[in-house]
């Protein structure tokens, strides 16, 4: 007897349909799973055998072969236990046949309980796209599944409970599709605690408003880390689509809150300098998204940039440019998205005081050069805004007057972002930093005076083509903060200022 049961698998952040096909025939008793299973899926044999027996069913004493189709994509994970068990129960006539509009996901425990799995959100999204009407998921993953409207998501506790539902004896009720409300988080840090540093704060505001990468460079104790750590408090809200995209990644790594699974706050990831290349960009023996993908639609903060291994920093070049990272494996290619704003902070030299107005730097010119060269030219070119964080003035530090709060800055940033959402509503990107080269001239219209200013700077300062585009994009953001449709000379002048430090330090 032959039966098939639909399920879902994961490649990268997207899902695909998997059919568990069971064949039970006469012959020496055996149980094989074929169809490119990895070691984890092979272990399903033991769980399924025990799960079936301990749920009050019989495990057929026959030759059992389960094929996971399509056979050319590697099957990773434990979510096939449930469809494998159901296909065997069906093929041995222990549960009735059901229609092909049902899909099943779940890991089995030896006792027959259905345990939570990672990646339920992308699987439910795909199942809906493929026209499935019902999807059965582990009870603990219900909230995540009901983010998707238009498909019935059933919470399953045990194999015997599900069998009873399929036999029509007891009924499992599908979860209600959620309507999500955006909730502001309260941060325990605020920009009002940072005294002075108006120039750096303005640069950060521009960077966040347009999603631009930013490098803060300055002497120790100037407040670089302090400023960067306050960036989450001024990030604009996410659109629902952005929230779902980010949640998909956290669903795959199994890092979602059960009660409130939708990530409505932009991620802020600050990996330590010792992180490996695979940790940062993704990979590993069972490929997983790296920090750059975990920061998707949010911020990746690299504090003390030159302390990261050079190869690790360089590994960011491709995903920063392409906004996706592709990991190649013998039989597959995985793609993870990486729309991130990179924030980096560093000292200008090993002792930290190179360029300090009063303190003397103790480093030799060679040591300074070696330190700075850890950040390569191409990497620097990808960072839109470079800003020097000077030591805080005593008068600022001693002053009692309160600086502008994060809430006020965030209001301006959000206003500028809303202009961008409106502008890019039918395009594949949604902030100025990500404007595709093909659209730059159409979107970044300048006055004649502004165009002349860029031309002069380009000729005098030998900017790269990328730097030229970045200047236009930054100027676009500054104009959006001013609510101006056309970029003028003042906007360009400010944008040019943000591209001058590389010439000062990286001569
Ligand atoms: N502008 C400022 N206003 C108020 N406090 C400040 C300011 N700048 C620095 N500080 C104080 O100094 C401490 C050190 O600042 P921070 O760690 O941000 O410096 P940094 O520039 O990152 O230094 P390093 O280069 O050594 O990493 C902060 O925790 C804060 O208490
Ligand atoms: Mg610091």
pLDDT in tens, 53-101: 999 999 999 999 999 999 888 888 888 999 999 999 999 999 998 888 9
pTM: 0.90
Q: How far apart are CA 463 and CA 486, in angstroms?
A: 23
C-alpha of residue 380 to centroid of ligand 2, in Å = 19
Q: How far apart are CA 72 and CA 78, in angstroms?
A: 18
Closest C-alpha to 319, from 277, 353, 272, 355: 277
Q: How far apart are CA 473 and CA 311, in angstroms?
A: 28
487-503 tens-digit pLDDT: 999 999 999 999 877 66
Cα distances (angstroms) measured from residue 186 to each of 228, 230, 243, 357, 399: 17, 12, 18, 37, 26
- The residue to mutate among 195, 202, 218, 221, having the most atoms of ligand 1 within 8 angstroms of its beta carbon, is 221
Nearest CA to ligand 1 atom 26: 220
Q: Which ligand 1 atom is nearest residue 219's CA?
A: 25
Ligand 1 binding site (Cβ under 6 Å of any ligand atom): 194-197, 218, 220-226, 347, 352, 392
Q: Which ligand 1 atom is nearest residue 197's CA?
A: 1
Q: Rounded mean pLDDT of the chain?
A: 91
Eight-class DSSP state of 487: B
Closest C-alpha to 175, from 244, 129, 120: 120
C-alpha of residue 222 to centroid of ligand 1, in Å = 5
Closest C-alpha to 300, from 249, 339, 326, 334: 339
Nearest CA to ligand 1 atom 16: 223
φ and ψ at residue 327, rounded to 5 degrees: -110, 125
Nearest CA to ligand 1 atom 5: 194
CB 101 within 8 A of CB 132: yes
Q: How far apart are CA 312 and CA 436, in angstroms?
A: 26
Nearest CA to ligand 1 atom 6: 223
* Nearest ligand (C-alpha, residue 356): 1
Where are the domains positioned within the chain? 2-166, 191-505
CB 247 within 8 A of CB 257: no
C-alpha of residue 384 to centroid of ligand 2, in Å = 20
The architecture that CATH gives domain 2-166 is 2-Layer Sandwich (3.30)
Output the tens digit of pLDDT for each of the chain's 507 residues: 789 999 999 988 889 999 999 999 998 999 999 987 887 777 889 999 999 999 999 999 999 999 999 988 888 888 899 999 999 999 999 999 888 899 999 999 999 999 999 999 999 999 999 999 999 999 999 999 999 999 999 999 999 999 999 999 999 999 987 776 667 778 889 999 998 899 999 999 999 999 999 999 999 998 999 999 999 999 998 888 889 999 999 999 988 887 778 888 899 999 999 999 999 999 877 788 999 999 999 999 999 999 999 999 999 999 998 899 988 876 677 889 999 999 999 999 998 888 787 888 888 988 888 888 888 888 988 999 999 998 888 777 778 888 899 999 999 999 999 999 999 998 888 899 999 889 998 999 999 999 999 998 888 887 788 888 999 999 999 999 999 999 999 999 999 999 877 667 776
Q: Which ligand 1 atom is nearest residue 226's CA?
A: 18
C-alpha of residue 452 to centroid of ligand 2, in Å = 38
Provide the CATH topology of domain 191-505.
Rossmann fold (3.40.50)
* Nearest ligand (C-alpha, residue 229): 1
């Amino acid at each position: 007897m032959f039966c098939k049961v639909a399920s879902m698998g994961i490649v990268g952040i997207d899902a695909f349909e998997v059919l568990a096909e069971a064949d039970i025939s006469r012959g020496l008793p055996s149980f094989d799973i074929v169809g490119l299973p990895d070691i984890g899926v092979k272990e399903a044999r033991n769980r399924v055998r025990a799960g079936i027996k301990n749920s009050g069913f019989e495990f057929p004493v026959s030759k059992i072969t389960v094929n996971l189709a399509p056979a050319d994509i590697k099957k990773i994970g434990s979510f096939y236990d449930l469809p494998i068990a159901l296909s065997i129960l069906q093929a041995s006539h222990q549960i009735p046949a059901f229609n092909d509009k049902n899909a099943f996901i779940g890991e089995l425990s030896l006792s027959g309980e259905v345990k939570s799995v990672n990646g339920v959100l992308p699987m439910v999204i795909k199942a809906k796209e493929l026209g499935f009407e019902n999807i059965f998921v582990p009870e603990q993953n219900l909230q995540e599944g009901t983010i998707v409207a238009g498909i019935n998501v059933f919470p399953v506790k045990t194999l015997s409970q599900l069998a009873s539902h399929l036999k029509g004896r007891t009924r499992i009720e599908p979860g209600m599709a959620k309507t999500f409300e955006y909730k502001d988080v309260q941060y325990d840090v605020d920009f009002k605690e940072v005294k002075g540093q108006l120039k750096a704060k303005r640069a950060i505001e521009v960077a966040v408003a347009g999603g631009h990468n930013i490098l803060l460079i300055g002497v120790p104790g100037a407040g670089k880390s302090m400023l960067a750590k306050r960036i989450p408090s001024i990030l604009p809200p996410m659109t629902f689509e952005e929230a779902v995209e980010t949640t998909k990644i956290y669903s795959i790594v199994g890092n979602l809150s059960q009660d409130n699974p939708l990530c409505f706050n932009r991620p802020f990831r600050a990996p330590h300098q010792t992180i490996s290349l695979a940790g940062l960009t993704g990979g590993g023996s069972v490929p997983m998204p790296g920090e750059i993908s975990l920061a998707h639609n949010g911020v990746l903060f690299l504090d003390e940039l030159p302390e990261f291994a050079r190869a690790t920093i360089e590994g960011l070049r491709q995903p920063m440019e392409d906004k996706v990272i592709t990991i190649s494996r013998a039989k597959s290619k995985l793609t993870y998205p990486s729309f991130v704003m990179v924030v980096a902070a560093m000292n200008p030299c090993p002792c930290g005081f190179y360029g300090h107005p009063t303190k003397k730097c103790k480093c030799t010119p060679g040591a300074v050069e070696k330190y700075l060269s850890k950040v390569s030219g191409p990497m620097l070119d990808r960072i839109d805004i470079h800003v020097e964080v000077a030591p805080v003035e005593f008068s600022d530090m001693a002053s009692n007057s309160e600086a502008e709060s994060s809430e006020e800055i965030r209001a301006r940033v959000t206003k500028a972002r809303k202009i961008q959402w409106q502008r890019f509503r039918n395009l594949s990107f949604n902030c100025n930093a990500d404007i595709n080269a093909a659209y730059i001239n159409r979107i970044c219209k300048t006055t004649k005076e502004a165009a002349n200013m860029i031309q002069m700077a380009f000729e005098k300062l030998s900017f790269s083509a990328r730097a030229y585009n970045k200047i236009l994009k930054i100027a676009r953001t500054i104009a959006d903060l001013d609510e101006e449709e056309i970029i003028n000379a003042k906007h360009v002048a400010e944008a040019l200022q943000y591209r001058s430090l590389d010439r000062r330090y990286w001569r």
